[in-house]
Amino acid sequence: MLETLDLLRRNPVRSAAIAIVLAIVIGVFAYAAGCIRGGVSDHAIWIGALTAYLAVLLFAVFVAHLGAALFHALIRRDSVLQSMV
């Protein structure tokens, strides 16, 4: 457990990605639980909206990293791509 926490401290981008994915998963389950109970509450709507924003943020981070990897591989042709992969 301590090794995992140390790894997350050393890599803040990975930590942020894990936090976003966990928030998306929690939001989806909370929204589904609200629908199953017989109606969508205000909290479920708020969590659903937050989940959607976090999903877009995660996708933007993924696209930015993909673009950076392609930039380093195709234009700069340096060894940064090997460290990204």
Q: How many domains does the chain have?
A: 1
Range of the domain at 10: 2-84
What's the whole-number average pLDDT of the chain? 74
pLDDT at 34: 64
Amino acid at 17: A
Could you say which residues of the chain have pLDDT below 70? 1-9, 11-13, 31-41, 44, 84-85
Query: The pTM is what?
Result: 0.53
Amino acid at 19: A
Amino acid at 50: L
CA distance 8 to 27: 22
